[in-house]
C-alpha cells in the first residue's frame, strides 16, 4: 500500500484504518452490503471503485463504491448524451469518460468523445473539440453488430481494440487523449486482446501462433505508417497451447494508477503491484473436451523478463523457458460470462460461485508475496484445505502455491447463485446477479 494525501488524519489513525482494511480483506468480512437494481442496457464497466451501466442507448448510470475504512461515500449519478452509445470506458482518477458514438449509417467511422466522468461535459484537458475520429479499414457495408470494442485508459493514453468477429479484421489504436495524436496502430486479424504493461509498453495476445506480443509507445512509425505486425518481443507458447481457441488478457488497474484526488483516501494500492490475468479456452478434438484455464502473471515480474531480453523488433522468447517459473496457475474451470474485472492489484476473485460442504462460496486469491510470506500457520492450513476441497492445484514447476486462498459464503439475499458474476475492486467485491425467472438484474456491492 501507499500513503494517500495528507488529509486530516494522524499517522496513528491511518495505521489503525490500514490494519482494519487488511484484516477485512484477510477474513473477507465486508461491513456494508448494498443492492441496486440495474437498468435495461447492454454496456457496463467496473473500474477504479466505480460501477457504470448503460440505460437505453444514450444514458449511463454510475455508482461510486463506498468504503467506510477509506472514507469514501457511496454516490450515484446519471449522464445522458445527445448521441447513441456504441461503448464506453472510464478513469475516475482523471475524471475521464471515453465514449464511442454509434453511427448506424457509417459503421466504419468511430468518433471517440472525451467527457468528464462527473458531469458529462467535454473534458477540459482534451483539446478544443474533445473528439478523436478513427476510420476503420473495412468496407462500409460491414454490419455494426459484428463489431466489439475493448477500451483501456492509462495516464495520457487511451487504447481501443476494435474486433470484427465474422472476418477477424482487428485493429488496435492508441492515442494521447490530451492531444489527439495517434501513438500506435496495429492492424492484425490475429490480435485478440491487450493491456497496458508499464508506462510505455502494450501487451497483446494472439492465437496463430499462441503468443504474447510486446509493443512500445515510445516511438512512432515513420511517415504515419502502421506498425502492422512489428512487435518488440514475442513470448511463444509450446505444444500444450496448440488446442487453444481463445486467449484473453485483463488487468486492473492500469500501471501507476491513483484514486481520484478529490476522495482524499488515507492509503491506496501501490501502482506497480498488478496482476496480468491470461484466460485460456482450450478444445481437445481427440477427446472432445472443452475447458478453460487462467494464468496469473505479476506485471512487475513480466516487465523484468522484458528488460532482461534483447529489445529489437521481432525477437522471440520461448514461454516454457521462463513463464511457468513466475506464473500462478488457476486450474480447469467452466466458461465465464465475463473475461474482465476479476483482478485488482494483486488479488483475484474466481468469477463464478463455487460450492463447499453444500454452501455457495466466493473464493479470493491473494498473490502479493509479502502477504503470503506473513501468513500465519493457521491461514496456510486453511488455504491448503481450500485448494484440496475445491480441486485446485498449482503448476508442477512450483513446490507450493504462491498465493493464499480465502473464501466467504455468498450473501443469503442472493437468490440465484448459478447466475452470478463476481468481480473485485480496491474496496470490495461486486456481484452481478441475473434472476432467470424474472429477468431482473441486481448489483450487490460488498464493501469494506
Q: Is the pLDDT of residue 363 over 90?
A: yes
pLDDT at 63: 97
Locate 221 and state its grid cell: 512509425
pLDDT > 70: what percent of the chain?
87
Tell me the pairing of strands 347-349 and 359-366: antiparallel
Going from the N-terminus, what domains does the chain have, and what CATH number goes with each? 2-447 (2.130.10)
Convert the pLDDT of each residue in 225-249 to its tens digit: 444 557 888 899 876 666 788 899 9
Segment 409-425 mean pLDDT: 93
Q: Using 50, 70 and 90 to split pLDDT, how confident is the model at 128?
A: confident
Would you say residue 103 has pLDDT above 80?
Answer: no
Residue 140: its pLDDT value, please? 56
What is the distance between the alpha carbons of residues 101 and 113, in angstroms, rounded to a whole number? Answer: 8
**Site of grid cell 464511442:** 100
pLDDT (average), residues 94-111? 85
Report the DSSP pairing between strands 347-349 and 343-344.
antiparallel
Report the SS3 class of residue 233. strand
The secondary structure element, H or E, covering residue 22 is helix 11-27
Question: Beta partners for 416?
Answer: none
Nearest in space to 160 (alpha carbons), one of 182, 130, 127: 182
pLDDT at residue 290 in the model: 75
- At residue 246, the pLDDT reads 87
Is 283:331 a contact under the CB 8 Å cutoff? no
| pLDDT tens profile 294-315 | 899 999 988 988 887 766 667 8
Question: What is the distance between the alpha carbons of residues 50 and 57, in angstroms, rounded to a whole number?
Answer: 20
Distances (CA, A) of 71 to 51, 185, 365: 18, 41, 25
Per-residue pLDDT band for 398 (boundaries 50, 70, 90) equals very low
Confidence of residue 399 (pLDDT cuts 50, 70, 90): very low
| Residue-level pLDDT at 220 | 55
Model confidence at 439, in pLDDT bands (50, 70, 90)? Answer: confident
Q: Tens of pLDDT along 70-100?
A: 999 999 999 999 999 999 999 999 999 999 9
Q: How far apart are CA 311 and CA 164, in angstroms?
A: 31
SS (H, E, C) 50-71: EEEEEECCCEEEEEECCECCCC
Mean predicted confidence (pLDDT) in 356-362: 92
pLDDT for res 329: 82
pLDDT at 415: 87
Nearest 10 degrees: Cα torsion 251, 252, 253, 256: -30
Which band of pLDDT confidence, cut at 50, 70 and 90, is reported for residue 110? Answer: confident
CA-to-CA distance for 249 and 339, rounded, in angstroms? 8
226 CB burial (10 A radius; 0-12, 13-18, 19+):
middle
Q: How many CB atoms lie within 10 A of CB 432?
A: 22
What secondary structure letter does DSSP report for 381?
H
| Residue 207, number of CB atoms within 10 A of its CB | 16
Tell me phi and psi for residue 8, to 5 degrees: -110, 10
The per-residue pLDDT for 397 is 43
Average per-residue pLDDT for the chain:
86
**What's the pLDDT tens digit per position in 37-56?**
999 898 999 999 999 999 99
pLDDT at position 288 over 70: no
* H or E element in which residue 44 lies: strand 44-47
Report the C-alpha gap between 152 and 177 in whole angstroms.
12
Q: Is the pLDDT of residue 272 over 90?
A: no
What pLDDT, in 10s, does the model give residues 140-178? 555 555 678 999 999 999 999 998 766 667 899 999 999
Which grid coordinates are listed for 47?
473500474
Q: What are the tens digits of pLDDT across the range 169-214? A: 789 999 999 999 999 999 887 899 999 998 889 999 998 889 999 9
Amino acid at each position: 500500500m501507499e500513503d494517500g494525501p495528507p488529509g486530516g488524519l494522524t499517522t496513528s489513525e491511518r495505521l489503525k484504518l490500514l490494519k482494519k482494511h487488511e484484516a477485512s480483506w484477510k477474513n473477507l468480512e465486508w461491513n456494508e452490503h448494498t443492492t441496486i437494481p440495474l437498468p435495461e442496457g447492454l454496456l457496463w464497466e467496473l473500474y477504479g471503485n466505480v460501477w457504470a451501466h448503460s440505460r437505453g442507448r444514450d444514458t449511463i448510470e454510475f455508482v461510486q463504491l463506498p468504503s467506510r475504512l477509506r472514507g469514501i461515500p457511496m454516490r450515484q449519478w446519471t449522464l445522458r448524451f445527445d448521441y447513441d452509445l456504441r461503448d464506453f470506458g472510464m478513469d475516475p482518477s482523471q475524471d475521464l469518460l471515453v465514449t464511442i458514438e454509434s453511427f448506424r449509417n457509417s459503421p466504419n467511422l468511430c468518433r471517440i468523445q472525451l467527457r468528464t466522468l462527473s458531469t458529462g461535459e467535454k473534458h477540459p484537458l482534451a483539446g478544443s473539440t474533445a473528439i478523436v475520429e478513427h476510420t476503420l479499414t473495412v468496407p462500409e457495408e460491414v454490419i455494426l453488430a459484428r463489431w466489439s470494442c475493448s477500451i483501456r485508459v492509462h495516464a495520457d493514453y487511451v487504447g481501443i481494440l476494435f474486433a470484427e468477429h465474422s472476418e477477424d479484421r482487428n485493429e488496435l489504436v492508441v492515442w494521447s487523449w490530451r492531444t489527439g495524436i495517434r501513438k500506435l496502430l496495429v492492424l492484425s486479424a490475429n490480435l485478440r486482446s491487450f493491456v497496458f504493461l508499464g508506462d510505455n509498453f502494450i501487451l497483446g495476445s494472439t492465437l496463430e501462433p499462441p503468443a504474447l506480443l510486446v509493443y512500445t509507445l515510445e516511438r512512432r512509425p515513420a511517415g504515419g505508417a502502421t506498425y502492422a505486425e512489428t512487435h518488440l518481443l514475442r513470448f511463444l507458447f509450446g505444444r500444450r497451447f496448440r488446442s487453444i481457441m481463445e486467449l484473453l488478457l485483463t488487468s486492473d488497474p492500469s500501471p501507476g494508477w491513483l484514486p481520484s484526488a478529490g476522495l482524499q483516501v488515507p492509503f491506496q494500492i501501490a501502482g506497480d503491484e498488478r496482476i496480468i490475468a491470461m484466460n485460456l479456452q482450450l478444445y481437445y478434438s481427440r477427446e472432445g473436451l472443452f475447458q478453460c484455464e487462467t494464468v496469473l502473471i505479476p506485471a512487475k515480474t513480466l516487465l523484468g523478463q522484458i528488460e532482461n531480453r534483447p529489445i529489437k523488433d521481432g525477437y522471440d522468447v520461448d514461454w516454457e523457458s521462463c513463464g511457468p517459473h513466475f506464473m500462478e496457475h488457476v486450474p480447469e474451470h467452466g466458461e465465464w460470462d465475463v473475461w474482465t474485472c476479476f483482478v485488482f492489484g494483486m488479488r483475484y476473485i474466481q468469477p463464478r460461485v463455487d460450492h463447499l460442504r453444500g454452501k455457495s462460496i466466493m473464493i479470493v486469491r491473494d498473490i502479493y508475496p509479502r502477504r503470503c510470506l506473513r501468513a500465519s500457520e493457521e491461514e496456510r492450513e486453511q488455504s491448503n484445505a481450500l485448494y484440496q476441497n475445491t480441486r485446485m492445484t498449482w503448476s508442477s514447476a512450483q513446490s507450493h502455491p504462491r498465493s493464499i486462498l480465502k473464501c466467504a459464503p455468498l450473501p443469503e439475499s442472493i437468490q440465484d447463485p448459478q447466475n452470478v458474476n463476481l468481480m473485485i475492486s480496491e474496496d470490495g467485491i461486486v456481484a452481478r446477479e441475473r434472476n432467470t425467472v424474472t429477468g431482473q438484474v441486481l448489483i450487490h456491492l460488498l464493501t469494506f
